[in-house]
Chains A and B, each alone.
Chain A
């Protein structure tokens, strides 16, 4: 990366981080809502640990992976809504009149998602551990868990950027939230894949990449170091990131019709 591009990415990243820090309304719900659902689910579904084949005797530990995914969904909304606002207010046109490169814009915009992802991951993990969840992979596992969570958050953030660039509307980006939530519910969110008895639900969950992201996160909490699950989780997250960045770059070219 040359100095000019580094400066562009750095300045836009700085702006993105400042924007995130100055909007508590973006940070607080992304922290509170997933933790609230964690408390409800781990309290209400703890009997599920009695099912034969359930991988742990602590439902809290099993459910702790879910907030990381829910937090990532917030990053779709936050990254996308910020960019959509830039389009609506004409700020993107201001940027387009500078020698700004598209890659710098997208990378810079995701810096806010990285920050939010980091804050979310550390908070969810800390609250979970304080509440009594296990972390089988130890301190090193905590770092990998946070790294995977941030990667997922950024990957989902690119989908928000793509939606913003395609539609140019904050409302359209926000309407994606329930769609993503359906994806989360149609996964191995509440029970492990092998215990999903309803065939159609099992088939959908098995085909849903969210299941494998959850299993990768869970493997560190429940089993310790399962390199296969981790590789699959990171692989899916990086694939979503690559596809999301490609789609967002293509959408940016269409949106920025500058000659």
Chain B
């Protein structure tokens, strides 16, 4: 396979399975395709199988069954070629607290076989890109969580990979660090054409960053598509109105009922699912005004990816996380004994 062929291929996964001894089927026959230059968000609660999938796709864990090709190479029979094409920042920022940022870059570029003369330049360029030039001579043990994640990202990019795996890259980061990392990932995809496979348990992250999202639960992909398509699939937005005078609640409900079926609302409010979508909001306002109903508060609830998760699994993603912690522990133990 030539370099240009590699550039035209992303990730192709077919019926991928990973079972652990005495453990659950962590990944249960998933299929997915990620196009070159695409940001694919892999969303699910803890223990759903996200990290196990990443470990298999990065060749660090052999699959029990199924096939996957990354950058056109089979993950089982062409491991070295896969590794040469990918960069990965795995779940915990795996850094040596006793080395400096620059020493990490030097080690990483050397191990990837980058020519001696270019190592320093590449290291400096990446440290600059992730905003760590000033901290390059400091030991990583003194870095903040956000700095560690940024260095992790820079290390993953050392050998100019075509495909980047990011396993929960912003977990535990403050909003500023998270936003900075999102911007860099988006830039990598848009300007450098890097394909990004990103696992996350943050709805906002998947919604903001990913071109397409796959939702995984109990090792199976339960939904896949663009965030907009997934949200529109499960239903229409809801409008909720709360009259200024509590006595007007019935009249408010009657006006709203012209625009769709009734939906759950706060005790002093009325709500309907808008049959015509968000564009009907203006009509709702005009109708309430025409009937002389003074409104204290009017809210439009757009469907979220959490609603998608709820619709597909019967429970909320955020609620699912705690419930899945035990499952994650079991998975971690299984990885240890695999």
Contact = CB atoms under 8 A, between A and B. Distances in A.
Contacts of B86: 97
Interface in A2-52: 4, 7-8, 10-12, 14-15, 18-19, 22-23
Nearest to A100: B111
A98 interface: yes
A176 interface: no
B170 to A, nearest CB: 17
Contacts of A18: 98-99, 103
A258 B107 contact: no
Nearest to A8: B111
A259 B87 CA distance: 16
Q: Range of interface residues on chain B?
A: 35 or more
A259 B59 contact: yes
A198 interface: no
Q: Does more than half of chain A's interface fall in helix, strand or loop, or is it mixed?
A: helix
Given A15-B96, A99-B112, A257 B61 contact: yes
Contact of B60 (A12, A89, A97): A97
Nearest to A91: B94
Interface string A63-106: 00000000000000000000000100111011111111000000
Contacts of A19: 96, 98-99
B84 interface: yes
Contacts of B107: 11-12, 14-15
Interface of A: 4, 7-8, 10-12, 14-15, 18-19, 22-23, 86, 89-91, 93-100, 168, 257-259
Given A89-B94, A93-B90, A259-B76, 16 more contacts: A12-B107, A18-B103, A19-B98, A22-B139, A23-B98, A86-B96, A89-B96, A90-B94, A91-B95, A91-B96, A93-B60, A94-B90, A98-B111, A259-B59, A259-B75, A259-B77
6 closest residue pairs by CB, A with B:
A90-B94, A259-B79, A98-B111, A11-B110, A94-B94, A259-B59
Interface of B: 58-62, 75-77, 79-80, 82-84, 86-88, 90-92, 94-96, 98-99, 103, 106-108, 110-113, 139, 155, 336, 338
